[in-house]
Amino acid sequence: MLRKVAKSAVLTALNAYDKRDGALQPQSPSAWDMTVSDVGELCWEGNSLAALAERFGTPLYVVSRARLERDYREFLGAFTALYPKVEIGCSYKTNPLPGVIRAMHEIGASAEVISHFELWLALRLGMPGERIIMNGPAKTDKALELAVSNGVRLINVDNPDEIATIERLAAKYGRRQEVGVRVVTSVGWSAQFGLRIGTGQAMEAFRRMKAAPHLVPCALHAHLGTGIHDAGVYFTAVTEMLQFARRLRDELDVEMRYLDFGGGFGVPTVRPLSPTDRKLIDNGFQVKPPREGLAPTTQEYAQGIIDRFSQYYDVASPQSPQIVFEPGRAMTSRAQCLLLSVLALKNGDRSSEYAILDGGKNITIPLGYEYHEAFVANRMKETQTRRYSMFGPLCHPGDVLFKHRDFPKLVKGDLIAIMDAGAYFVPNQMNFSNPRPPAVMVSGSDVRVIRERETFEDIVRLDAI
């Protein structure tokens, strides 16, 4: 009985929460540099998304080259305003569309790869070895040989066993290979990755690398997590890495050429779904978009990181180490959206009507754990809303895109734009009963297909039929 009363009180409070003016308004399309046309169509760089969907079909990824460039330049510029030797590596794993990667390289990013395939792709895209950094917990001997033989600039060791392999390969190819260590600090991810500073593992790896005649130990690498919205995590890790770099100089006479602080920076337009969000959703309520100011600005990151760096190195000296970042999400998340069509509408539950879309979990894995904004891209001026749950085309009840979210009243054929589809959507795609989407890149009036739609024949082309 008490429990029932408590539950009812909670639901009343939630209902009040749900009805607060504006609290549940979606973010503005301007957060992605999108505009709304006179006829209510969502546009990117002047291109109507509805027209693109009409021309190329759905599901469809759309990438804005201007937005890619803006996010790159703003991130880099915030740091280079304070220290010139800063470099951004394009995180191949975050968005492996070669068209996106190529654009990032054209804009100025180097390559950060974590697998044999990604290394191959960087070379295939014409990147010289000296613009490639190789990371990852599972470097096969073949991948390391491809790296060393192609003069990859830096290999960050994840596991002490890699040291002997790289030494052998460097000797074979007559190179002196620059190497670093992926370190684990007191904050951020540890798990299966890297070597701890605190236990002496990292120091021991440097000792071994220093003793290897074909290796040049000269880098520290960390990667703290994904979608991080807490600058303090970075500041702590950076401080520990700077302290460790000083110890390497003092104890081993090893000087850093690169301090690679990795990626993981969250974007302000996406937030992880919390246990509370899940409870709200389970009870039929809409959850809130990210609040403004959720993510620290790049200026705040830059100021905090370079402040700490400058306590250890002279920011005016060309001898000071290169600072490397590998922000995946912060570079590509906001520059790509996913367009889906409403295939069917049906009676739903107490809280929501149901819409079936032509893409589901097969191509939207991040929607399972993150809040992403979504718009009805062909009817942005509609003011009357209804509450919907949206499902994909798979035959599983977990094939959910959104539950209980307000949208303009839908009709079959409406176009749903899922925002921030530029990070971890493409690498997590699967062929569950369906082909994978194509991608177009818009750059002003220039619209080009950067990945073609997979045909049914494509799906089975490696099969004996």
Angstrom distance (rounded) from CA 294 to CA 27:
13
**Toward a second copy, which CB reaches closer, 235 or 354?**
354
Give the one residue of 3, 4, 346, 350 binding a second copy; rule: CB under 8 A. 346
Torsion of CA 282, 286, 292, 293, to 10 degrees: 0
Q: How far is the CB of 156 from a second copy (least distance, A)?
A: 11
Contacts of 388 (CB under 8 A, 6+ apart): 348, 352, 353, 354, 355, 402, 404, 405, 406, 407, 410
**Toward a second copy, which CB reaches closer, 31 or 132?**
132
Which residues from 426-455 bind a second copy, rule CB under 8 A? Answer: 427-435, 438, 448-454
Q: How far is the CB of 149 from a second copy (least distance, A)?
A: 16
Which residues from 168-227 bind a second copy, rule CB under 8 A? Answer: 189-193, 201, 223, 226
3 state SS of 271: strand
3 state SS of 264: coil
**Toward a second copy, which CB reaches closer, 67 or 182?**
182
Q: How far is the CB of 153 from a second copy (least distance, A)?
A: 19
CA angle 267, 258, 193 (to 5 degrees): 65
Contact 35, 430 (CB under 8 A): no
3 state SS of 64: strand
Give the one residue of 230, 343, 351, 409 binding a second copy; rule: CB under 8 A. 343
The one-letter code for the residue type at 192 is Q
Residue 230 binding a second copy, by CB under 8 A:
no
What is the H or E stretch that residue 15 is in?
helix 2-19
Angstrom distance (rounded) from CA 339 to CA 226:
24
Which residues from 399-418 bind a second copy, rule CB under 8 A? Answer: 399, 412
Q: How far is the CB of 223 from a second copy (least distance, A)?
A: 7
Contacts of 54 (CB under 8 A, 6+ apart): none
Query: Residue count at the site for a second copy (CB under 8 A)?
Result: 78
Contact 100, 336 (CB under 8 A): yes
Task: Candidates 68-76, 90-98, 330-338, 415-423: pick the segment binding a second copy (CB under 8 A).
Answer: 90-98
Angstrom distance (rounded) from CA 138 to CA 135:
9
Give the one residue of 44, 244, 391, 402 binding a second copy; rule: CB under 8 A. 391
Q: Which alpha helices (DSSP H) does 57-136 contain, by range? A: 65-80, 98-107, 116-124
Q: Which of 264, 324, 259 is nearest to 295 (CA)?
A: 264
Residue 340 binding a second copy, by CB under 8 A:
no
Residue 460 binding a second copy, by CB under 8 A:
yes
Which residues from 143-162 bind a second copy, rule CB under 8 A? Answer: 158-162
Q: How far is the CB of 48 from a second copy (least distance, A)?
A: 22
Give the one residue of 46, 108, 137, 368 binding a second copy; rule: CB under 8 A. 137
**Toward a second copy, which CB reaches closer, 27 or 434?**
434
Which residues from 352-381 bind a second copy, rule CB under 8 A? Answer: 354, 356-358
**CA distances (Å), 103 to each of 64, 109, 358, in order?**
10, 9, 29
Give the one residue of 59, 99, 266, 327 binding a second copy; rule: CB under 8 A. 99
* Beta bridge partners of residue 34, listed in sequence order: 44
Angstrom distance (rounded) from CA 72 to CA 52:
25
Residue 140 binding a second copy, by CB under 8 A:
yes
Task: Candidates 3-11, 19-27, 112-120, 329-337: pick the segment binding a second copy (CB under 8 A).
Answer: 112-120
Q: How far is the CB of 432 from a second copy (least distance, A)?
A: 4
Q: How far is the CB of 401 from a second copy (least distance, A)?
A: 11
**Toward a second copy, which CB reaches closer, 5 or 465?**
465
